[in-house]
Amino acid sequence: MSYLQEAEVQTISWDDFIKVELRVGRIVSAALFPDAKKPAYMLHVDFGKDIGMKKSSAQITGLYKPEELVGKLVVTVVNFPNKQIGPIMSECLVTGFHNESGEVALCVPDKPVPLGTKLV
């Protein structure tokens, strides 16, 4: 299935949706992750004092350079189980959308919001 083909939409309950912790974080560092199987960056994302700092491997090298990611607010999932990716443990999932070429464009708030804010 191509990235833009219409997919079957599965209905979930409100209770299912509110279990997903979609939170805003700020990328504080981004570097190439040479041990990843597919081109990726290792990101450190700050969620503020209640959640703290988390690491993530993100396959976003097609549209972003590391230096332009630092300081960017991103929407992430913070309550998935940690996932071993090469030598590191990824602790959150940075969200995005595939474009026509299959590259990932980040899901970002369009206005400043406090770190750790939950999507409502």
Task: Give the residue numbers spanning the domain of 96.
Answer: 19-106
Residue-wise pLDDT tens for the chain (120 aa)? 455 556 788 999 999 999 999 999 999 999 999 988 899 999 999 999 999 999 999 999 999 999 999 999 999 999 999 999 989 999 999 999 999 999 999 999 999 999 999 998
Enter the tokens of residue 14: 């409100």
Task: Please list, in sequence order, all residues whose beta carbon lies within 8 angstroms of the beta carbon of residue 8, skipping any fewer than 6 positions away.
Answer: none
Q: In this structure, is residue 100 part of a structural domain? A: yes
Using DSSP's 3-state secondary structure scheme, residue 37 falls into coil
Asked if the structure places residue 114 within a domain, the reply is: no
Domain count, the chain: 1
Is 2 among the domain residues?
Answer: no
- Asked, for residue 69, whether it belongs to a domain, the answer is yes
* Beta bridge partner(s), residue 55: 44
Residue 114 and residue 73: Cα distance in Å, rounded? 10
**Sequence-distant (≥ 6) Cβ neighbours of residue 40 within 8 angstroms:** 32, 33, 57, 58, 59, 60, 61, 85
Residue 31, domain member (yes or no): yes
